[in-house]
């Protein structure tokens, strides 16, 4: 009887670990599937002379057809006239060429679709002096 009870408790202890294990796996796979900016040029919050382009390097490869960068001025008007492109060789890198920008605050909106289809998005600002 004593042994039976011990086995039951061991089983219960082992079973209690299963949800934690599943949660850990889900978290790990979710973290792996989503890409986020690692480096931005110009940097977030930077004040620069009118940049020729905005370039964002992500922490994983991007799906070129669904990922994008758009740049808007302080009034919300889009200033990039050309579409952003994902670098064919470095697929974690995306850039958009810019026309000459006047002084002011600009916002970069990024949409990053990872190669497995997971989508993340965000924005950040920089200033042109």
Residues that bind Cu ion (CB under 5 A): 118
**Shortest Cβ 20–Cu ion spacing (Å):** 22
Indicate the residue among 109 and 118 with the shorter CB distance to Cu ion: 118
Closest to Cu ion by CB, 76 vs 117, is 117
Shortest reach from residue 22's CB to Cu ion, in Å:
17
The token duo for 101 is: 């920008």
Closest residue to bound Cu ion by CB:
118
DSSP 37: E
H-type helices in 47-114, by residue range?
none
Q: For Cu ion, which is the closer residue by CB, 33 or 79? A: 33
The position carrying tokens 């920089």 is 126
| Residue 46 CB coordination number (10 Å) | 14
Minimum separation from the CB atom of position 34 to Cu ion (A): 5
Yes or no: say if 53 and 96 are a contact pair by the CB < 8 Å rule. yes
């Amino acid at each position: 009887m004593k042994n039976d009870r011990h086995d039951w408790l061991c089983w219960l202890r082992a079973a209690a670990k299963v949800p934690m294990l599943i949660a850990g796996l889900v978290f790990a796979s979710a973290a792996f599937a989503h890409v986020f900016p690692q480096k931005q040029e110009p940097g977030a919050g930077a004040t620069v002379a009118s940049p020729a382009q905005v370039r964002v390097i992500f922490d994983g490869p991007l799906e070129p057809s669904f990922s994008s960068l758009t740049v808007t001025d302080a009034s919300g008007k889009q200033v990039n006239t050309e579409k952003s492109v994902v670098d064919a060789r470095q697929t974690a890198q995306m850039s958009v060429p810019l026309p000459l920008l006047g002084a002011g605050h600009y916002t970069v909106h990024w949409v990053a679709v990872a190669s497995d289809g997971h989508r993340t998005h965000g924005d950040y600002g920089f200033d042109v002096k």
